[in-house]
Amino acid sequence: MPDRFIEVSLDKRGVSCTAKLLDDRAPVTCAAVWDALPLGGDVYHAKYARNEIYALVPPFAPEEPPLENPTITPIPGDLCYFTFTETQLATASYGYETEAAHQGRKTVVDLALFYERNNLLINGDAGWVPGIVWGTVVDGLDRMADACQDLWRAGAIGETLNYRRA
């Protein structure tokens, strides 16, 4: 199979990067994401995992992917896929407003981009939170990391994180 690429963007900030799908390491997840593109939504910056931005989207795979190519220590440029139940993301301590688009969904998919080092996927309420690494940024991570730092400092309201075929 030839390499497949996607664009990951913060549209309001006008910043994007290019990522390569890791079809050889996470074939089920890559196929599900690719078939569902474009995907995206309101962007959030992680509180606990550190250098992560993500969008919460409705489930799109015919069946949730298995935990292929898992990690709890993502590196800069990793794209990760997480699945959560509605109750896992329902507490106010996570910072989601009651009107957040994912509220009330039985299953929530989290599509994340890690932009810097020293990440650890642990949740104080639940313990380890392994993610599926399904892509890696191959161009533009420096620009995206700057925009992510701005998102952390200036705020995420009104910004979207989007994934499209490149």
Distance CA 25, CA 35 (A): 17
> What kind and span of H or E run contains 36?
helix 27-36
Average pLDDT for runs of 10 along the chain of length 166: 96 98 98 98 89 95 97 98 82 60 75 97 88 98 98 94 98
Please give the domain boundaries of the chain with CATH numbers for all domains: 5-165 (2.40.100.20)
For the chain, report the end-to-end CA distance as a whole number of angstroms.
16
**pLDDT for position 49:** 84
Count of CB atoms within 10 A of residue 29's CB? Answer: 26
Q: What digits encode the pLDDT tens for the residues 57-71? A: 999 999 999 999 999
